Amino acid sequence: MSRRNVFQRKTKETDIKGLLNLEGSGKATIQSGIGFLDHMLDLLTFHSGFDLELTCKGDLEVCAHHSVEDIALTLGEAFLAALGDKKGIKRYGHCFLPMDETMSRTVIDLSGRPYHVFKGEFLTENIGTLPTEMIKHFFCSFSVSSKTTLHQEILYGDNDHHKAESLFKGLGKCLSQAVEIVSDQVPSSKGVL
């Protein structure tokens, strides 16, 4: 089974291209124009075990919002397409992820019903050139476009870099669990997800 998707999204604000392979080995080649986001997507890719190639040319002279949002939407759509009919997947994933003084909890359901719950705060306005307000927005946009139920909570921590890193790694771990093939059935009493 080939669970991969070649993606492209072009708007007046962004031009995004790439490849997502759920049967990868955690390799990433990412150029978003936002260094800290590249770092976070590298970590997500490594801990998911997927392969991701992504380039984004965005209107960063305006701000990072359009690029971050469109990357999340594009990745969510690519992920959903790569999953196909979801036959045999585990469906659920959960992870407590420590990063030095920080601990986060991430729980996911590849339910086909988009919903995002986020509990946590950032103390700084930016990490590098990434506005911290866009971290929650990234995950919400991914949840909506991938039709995924995603719950995230920063349980404690002081350093905003560590908080973000814990969340992105945690999502990677959860996705890795949820896409694992464990049967020959669609994991729903309804027969569809």
- pLDDT of 106: 98
**Where does 4-178 sit in CATH, by number?**
3.30.230.40
Taking the C-alpha atoms of residue 175 and residue 97, their distance in angstroms, rounded to an integer, is 14
- Taking the CB of residue 175, how many other CB atoms lie within 10 A of it? 27
Pair of tokens at residue 182? 């464990």
Taking the C-alpha atoms of residue 46 and residue 51, their distance in angstroms, rounded to an integer, is 8
pLDDT over threshold 80, residue 1? no
* Percent of the chain surpassing pLDDT 90: 96
- pLDDT of 93: 98
- pLDDT of 192: 86
Type of residue found at 87: K
Confidence band for 191, pLDDT divided at 50, 70 and 90: confident
- pLDDT of 193: 86
The model's pLDDT over 76-104, given as tens digits with 9 standing for 90+, comes to 999 999 999 999 999 999 999 999 999 99
DSSP string, 62-124: T-SHHHHHHHHHHHHHHHHHHHTT-TTB--EEEEEEEETTEEEEEEEE--S--EEEEE---SS
Residues across the chain: 193
pTM of the model: 0.97
The model's pLDDT over 126-168, given as tens digits with 9 standing for 90+, comes to 999 999 999 999 999 999 999 999 999 999 999 999 999 999 9
The model's pLDDT over 110-121, given as tens digits with 9 standing for 90+, comes to 999 999 999 999
pLDDT over threshold 90, residue 41? yes
Question: Contact at 8 Å (CB) between 48 and 176?
Answer: yes
- Taking every pair of C-alpha atoms in the chain, what is the biggest distance, in angstroms? 49
